Homo-oligomer: A and B are copies of this chain.
Amino acid sequence: MSRFRFAPIAAALPATIPFTGPETLERRRGAPFLARLGANENGFGPSPLAVEAMARAASEIWKYGDPESHELRHALAAHHGVAPENIMLGEGIDALLGLLARLMIAPGEVVVTSAGAYPTFNYHVAGYGGTLRTVPYLDDAEDPDALLDATVETGARLTYLANPDNPMGSWHDGARIEAMVRALPETALLILDEAYAEFAPASAIPHIEAENPNVIRFRTFSKAYGMAGARVGYAIGPAELIAGFDRIRNHFGMNRAAQIGALAALADQNWLQEVVAQVAAARDRIGTIAAANGLRALPSATNFVAVDCGRDASYARALLDALEAQGIFLRMPGVAPMNRCIRISCGPATELDHLAEALPKALATLD
């Protein structure tokens, strides 16, 4: 029994720490990883112009960031062809998902997602007293039809879908997402997580008006722009919904150097395209490494590859552990049948060299 009586929702939450970072694993094993390929970070890094801008901003860090992120918001609006009022910046998609949950979820309200989809979204739903209704993946992809059916059936006002998907890397055609949006009940809001959109084929990106009242999209500088540690994400949605964030957000919460870095990164679309090409090459290389070891890489429209280990979850887990023992940091899906796979982020060649060397050794330690 705690000496501290937490508020009702917080009191009902698990006391365990829900997320483990690679640094924690490194401290446990007593050595740094040779290859950091578990968190879908982008080891090709941010634009040199963004690095330079952030380095320059360091000496001005005594100033709070602009609470409106005005320049970045306007630049993103121009980039996406929407109004600045359709954009809300936040400390990564994670923070924005938390704010959206807080803004929308009445305690006990049902929220729809896929079993095995982004755990941080589930964490926020539970964290604001929502109840999750999950539907299964279909053929290693999120299933828009099942999500739609569950939304209709439960009367849910929030439905989460990532396209492309994490942790499987699968994706749907934009037209299929558009059809799902058209079929949504009037009261439903699709949370379309497009964290990996820049890696996907153009055909995977749906055309949705920013003022469509049934969709809020999320994008980030953490993945293709290579700035995960900066914490810059943004929502695109109807102005009236976007304005709701101003009621509850931490207005001075953005790191000033991150704002400046993101602006520079956005302006360097050439770098972005180079990185996207390098990531595509790394995806192919991971496929080759997997195949050379009798494993099968699944198709991916992201900066990671789910590799089917061909057996059950405990085998995949054992392989993950054996790779970790050799200094390779990876993660794996949490739910069957996707948890027959391990998930490998697309890193630079030297990191993949370590993977290529460690994988046969790790496999040899298993029965």
Q: Which residues of A contact B (CB under 8 A)?
A: 2-8, 10, 13-15, 17-21, 23-24, 27, 36, 39, 41-46, 50-52, 54-68, 70, 91-92, 94-95, 98, 102-106, 109, 127-128, 157, 187, 189, 213, 222, 226-231, 238, 240-241, 243-244, 246-248, 250-258, 261
Contact = CB atoms under 8 A, between A and B. Distances in A.
Contacts of A240: 2-4
A127 B61 contact: no
9 nearest CB pairs, A to B: A229-B256, A55-B55, A54-B58, A23-B66, A13-B247, A255-B255, A21-B67, A62-B226, A61-B229
Contact of A46 (B7, B55, B62, B229): B62
Given A68-B23, A247-B14, A254 B231 contact: yes
B6 A244 contact: yes
B253 A231 contact: yes
A193 to B, nearest CB: 15
A121 to B, nearest CB: 12
Among A7, A61, A157, chain B packs the most CB atoms within 10 A around the CB of A61
A227 to B, nearest CB: 5
A328 to B, nearest CB: 16
Contact of A95 (B42, B54, B241, B250): B250
A13 B229 contact: no
A247 B98 CA distance: 13
A102 B248 CA distance: 12
A255 B241 contact: no
Contact of A23 (B70, B213, B261): B70
A317 B94 CA distance: 40
- Quick one: copies of this chain in the complex? 2
Contact of A24 (B15, B70, B127, B257): B70
A51 to B, nearest CB: 5
Contacts of A24: 66-68, 70
B246 A17 contact: yes
Contact of A230 (B56, B104, B106, B255): B255
B157 A5 contact: yes
Nearest to A17: B246
16 contacts: A4-B213, A4-B241, A5-B187, A7-B105, A7-B128, A21-B68, A21-B252, A51-B59, A54-B58, A54-B61, A61-B230, A61-B261, A63-B228, A64-B229, A95-B253, A229-B257
Contacts of A17: 246, 251
In this complex, which of A44, A230, A254 has the most chain B Cβ atoms within 10 angstroms of its Cβ?
Answer: A230
Contacts of A67: 19-21, 23-24
Contacts of A52: 58
Contact of A51 (B42, B61, B256, B261): B61
Contacts of A261: 58, 61
Given A106-B8, A229-B63, A252-B92, A257 B54 contact: yes
Contacts of A13: 247-248
A363 to B, nearest CB: 28
Given A4-B213, A20-B67, 7 more contacts: A18-B246, A24-B70, A43-B62, A54-B54, A65-B229, A92-B252, A229-B255
Contacts of A56: 55
